[in-house]
């Protein structure tokens, strides 16, 4: 059980927004889909830029959906839930790294 599994090949495909759009408190820079091992795809991955305390950071937001229920049972209402996401921190780093690298390459060409 404690054995580390190898992450399958990741192939990101990115579409850059020509003019970044406001997305709540963030700026939508583009969309991505991630093909995993040549046999599974995650679509609707957003690439966002957020400015906090004078610094800007770009990050990847995996697909989520609005929660229409009355809460999650602990008195706090959940507004969104994740649909697809990496399970381990290693797979998260590899997936987001591949997506951001592909985004930087596509943005440089645009």
- Reported pTM: 0.81
Q: What is the mean pLDDT of the chain?
A: 87
Give me the mean pLDDT over the 92-101 stretch.
96
Nearest residue to 84 (alpha-carbon basis) of 63, 53, 57, 67: 63
Per-residue pLDDT band for 74 (boundaries 50, 70, 90) equals low
Per-residue pLDDT band for 75 (boundaries 50, 70, 90) equals low
Question: Residue 106's pLDDT is what?
Answer: 95
CATH number of 10-109: 3.30.1120
**pLDDT tens per residue, range 14-50:** 999 988 888 778 899 999 999 999 999 999 999 999 9
Q: What are phi and psi of 5, to 5 degrees?
A: -90, 150
Q: What are the structural domain ranges in the chain?
A: 10-109
Residue 80 has a CB neighbour count (10 Å cut-off) of 11
């Amino acid at each position: 059980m404690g054995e580390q599994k190898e992450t399958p090949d990741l192939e990101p495909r990115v579409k850059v927004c020509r003019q970044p759009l406001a997305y709540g408190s963030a700026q939508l820079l583009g969309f991505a889909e991630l093909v995993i091992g040549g046999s599974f795809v995650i679509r609707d991955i957003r690439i966002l830029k957020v400015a906090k305390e004078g610094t800007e950071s770009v990050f990847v937001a995996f697909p989520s959906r609005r929660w229409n229920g009355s809460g999650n049972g602990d008195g706090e209402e959940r507004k969104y839930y994740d649909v697809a996401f990496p399970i381990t921190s290693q797979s998260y780093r590899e997936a987001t790294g591949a997506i951001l690298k592909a985004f930087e390459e596509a943005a440089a060409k645009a």
